[in-house]
Amino acid sequence: MKYAWGWYYVNIPADNKSQELSIIAGTGLSYAGEFLSVMDARFYDIRLDEKTNIELRTVKVWDLSFDSCNDETLQRFYVERSYWTNITDSFGNATIPLHQLVTLETESYLITMDFNSVVINYNRLLSSFTSYVFSDFEGIGVSTKLLIVDKKSEKTLRNVTVKSGGLEYGYRFNITVPPAPK
- In this predicted structure, the answer to whether residue 177 has a pLDDT above a threshold of 60 is no
| The model's pTM | 0.83
Give the model's pLDDT for residue 30.
67
Q: For residue 4, what pLDDT band results from cuts at 50, 70 and 90?
A: confident
Give the model's pLDDT for residue 1.
46
The alpha carbon of residue 100 and the mean position of all alpha carbons in its chain are separated, in whole angstroms, by 9
Q: How many CA atoms lie within 13 A of 104 on its CB side?
A: 29
Strands (E), the chain: 5-12, 21-31, 38-47, 53-61, 64-69, 74-89, 92-106, 109-116, 122-128, 133-150, 155-173
Q: What pLDDT, in 10s, does the model give residues 11-29? A: 888 888 888 888 888 887 6
**Conformational region of residue 156, where left means phi above 0, alpha means psi within -120 to 50, and beta covers everything else:** beta
Q: What pLDDT, in 10s, does the model give residues 40-71? A: 777 888 888 888 878 887 778 778 777 777 87
Give the model's pLDDT for residue 25.
86
Q: What pLDDT, in 10s, does the model give residues 155-174? A: 999 999 999 999 988 887 76
Give the model's pLDDT for residue 51.
82
Q: CA–CA separation, 108 vs 160, rounded Å?
A: 20
The phi, psi pair for 165, rounded to 5°, reads: -65, 155
Q: What pLDDT, in 10s, does the model give residues 104-160? A: 888 899 999 999 999 989 888 887 766 667 788 999 999 999 999 999 999 999 999
Give the model's pLDDT for residue 50.
80
Q: What pLDDT, in 10s, does the model give residues 70-87? A: 877 777 888 899 999 998
Report the residue count for the chain: 182
5-173 fold: AttH-like fold (2.40.370)
The alpha carbon of residue 125 and the mean position of all alpha carbons in its chain are separated, in whole angstroms, by 16
Q: For residue 181, what pLDDT band results from cuts at 50, 70 and 90?
A: low
Q: CA–CA separation, 76 vs 107, rounded Å?
A: 10
Residue 107: CB atoms within 10 Å: 13
